[in-house]
Amino acid sequence: MRQCLGCNEHKPKIELVRILRTPEGEITLDLTGKKSGRGAYLCKDPACLKKLRRSRRAEANLGVAIPEEVWDALEAAMAEEN
Ligand SMILES: [Zn+2]
């Protein structure tokens, strides 16, 4: 179980997406949960995405700025799921 940084609920990893900081310090999306690096978890829910984007908790958690295009890609990925 992992905690969503948007709604603070604990959910199975499979229900979450991961914003990943690679060992090279790049920010990317990990939709499969299989890449290595430090991750911030988030429900596949646009409401959680909005909260997290506003709260900046992912930045605090990962220790780096998250590029706009990563947020946009997350939004697009969630729109596709629904
Ligand atoms: Zn959530």
Q: How far is the CA of 62 from the centre of ligand 1 (A)?
A: 17
Q: How far is the CA of 22 from the centre of ligand 1 (A)?
A: 23
Q: How far is the CA of 40 from the centre of ligand 1 (A)?
A: 11
Q: What is the pLDDT of residues 18-66, one digit of tens each?
A: 999 999 999 999 887 788 899 999 999 999 999 999 999 999 999 999 9
Q: How far is the CA of 20 from the centre of ligand 1 (A)?
A: 17
Between the alpha carbon of residue 62 and those of residues 6, 34, 81, the distances in Å are 14, 17, 25
Q: Give the CB-side neighbour count of residue 14, counting CA atoms within 13 A.
A: 0
What's the CATH fold of domain 2-81?
Hypothetical Cytosolic Protein; Chain: A; (3.30.1230)
Residue showing tokens 């947020």: 71
Q: With b meaning 16 or more CB within 10 Å and e meaning fewer, what string describes 17-32? A: bbbbbeeeeebebbee
For the chain, give every domain's residue range: 2-81
* Distance separating alpha carbons of residues 80 and 75, to the nearest angstrom: 9
Q: How far is the CA of 65 from the centre of ligand 1 (A)?
A: 20
pTM to 2 decimals? 0.87
